[in-house]
Homo-oligomer: A and B are copies of this chain.
Amino acid sequence: MSFKQSTSLKQIQLAHGGGGLEMAKLIRELFFTAFDNPILAAEEDAAVLNLSGPCAFTTDSFTVSPLFFAGGDIGKLAIAGTVNDLAMMGAEPQYLSLALVIEEGFELAKLRTIIQSMAAELAKSGARIVCGDTKVVPKGCADGLFINTTGVGRVLRPGLSAAKLQPGDAILVSGDIGRHGAAILMAREGLQLESDLISDCASLWQVVEQLLALPFELHAMRDATRGGIAAVLNEWAVRSGVGIALEEARLPISDEVQGLCELYGFEATDLANEGTFVLALPKRDAEGALEVLRRFDGGSKAAIIGEVCEDHAGRVVLTTAWGGRRYLDLPQGELLPRIC
């Protein structure tokens, strides 16, 4: 009996989501301690924020498997993902909500690690968790832990849009591509490569804040998550009614990612990134922006990878290393499930 009790105290129980005493205790001891701020501490049905002018608003649920991977965990990912969606719209990541769906029996120690990882990632952008929700479902009804983060923040640079690309724009990428997808693939296949391959999972607000502070005429930014840079660039080409010409030789891809792609039949351009973004801006500003990108962690491989053109409207054209040309299409099929 005493063994059972001490075990159960180390695991999430259904009562932790019941709206009663146990839930109140969990929220206070775990979440309020990690995310301490006056808005959250008000404990009302909704947080009250002071917002003014145009605000960006974005939501993401995270179901990544495994929960821990080289370079991050679901907590870091859930903060970085939503912070980045705000940043990509030229908005300062200010306020986040946090909603957890936890499977009964989930280890409390793991949950604590994930929550601490969220708190550490929040510190990188100054965003705050101001409201939350905790649900517990019976064993077998979810796979460990799902997290939703939804964010809101004021737009510092209005007008960034997937529909704003213009012929003559340069296309830049902020670092080498495909690392998150490759890291998850490695973790899932139980591969132990003798390599430094880790996910690019990171908050991009610091570098974006610098780009916004400089007088560059930014047209569009997008973090290349599910579907990789292929998905982003295809969407941009369609939305802006332009063609995008990429040079394969300029795509920054690490040897490790390239190797895994060859082994598993993936394209690095389809693989998810979680701290790498694509940027479109007039050519005259391209070198300046590149210099900013390279100054930040993970940006040493940043590159100008192509340009926007008038022909092939709605398509992305890749000039291969051998001089051939082919369309880079929107990814199709299953790719990697539960990548984020």
Contacts and interface: CB of A to CB of B under 8 A. Distances in A.
A23 to B, nearest CB: 8
Given A19-B226, A21-B330, A143-B141, A50 B58 contact: no
A222 to B, nearest CB: 6
Interface residues of A, number: 87
A319 to B, nearest CB: 23
Contacts of A48: 54-57, 89, 155, 158
A101 interface: yes
A51 interface: yes
Contacts of A142: 63, 141-143, 146
Contacts of A146: 61, 101, 142, 146
A17 interface: yes
A91 B49 CA distance: 11
A165 interface: no
A332 B22 contact: yes
A89 B131 CA distance: 13
Contacts of A272: 19
A220 B225 CA distance: 42
Contacts of A85: 45-46
A86 interface: yes
Contacts of A231: 19-20
A140 to B, nearest CB: 8
A44 B332 contact: no
Interface string A101-142: 100000000000000000000000000001111011110111
Most buried by B among A20, A152, A155, A231: A20
A337 interface: yes
A276 B239 CA distance: 44
A338 B61 contact: no
B18 A337 contact: yes
A15 B333 contact: yes
Contact of A51 (B55, B100, B151, B338): B55
B61 A135 contact: yes
A88 interface: yes
A19 B331 contact: yes
Interface string A183-219: 0000000000000000000000000000000000000
Given A48-B158, A137-B337, 16 more contacts: A15-B332, A15-B335, A18-B227, A19-B231, A20-B330, A21-B331, A22-B333, A42-B161, A43-B239, A46-B57, A48-B89, A49-B55, A59-B97, A61-B99, A135-B338, A136-B337
Interface of A: 13-15, 17-24, 42-63, 65, 85-86, 88-89, 91, 95, 97-101, 130-133, 135-138, 140-143, 146, 148, 150-152, 155, 158, 160-162, 222-223, 225-228, 231, 235, 239, 270, 272, 330-335, 337-338, 340
Q: Which 4 A-B pairs have the closest CB atoms?
A: A19-B226, A19-B227, A59-B97, A46-B58
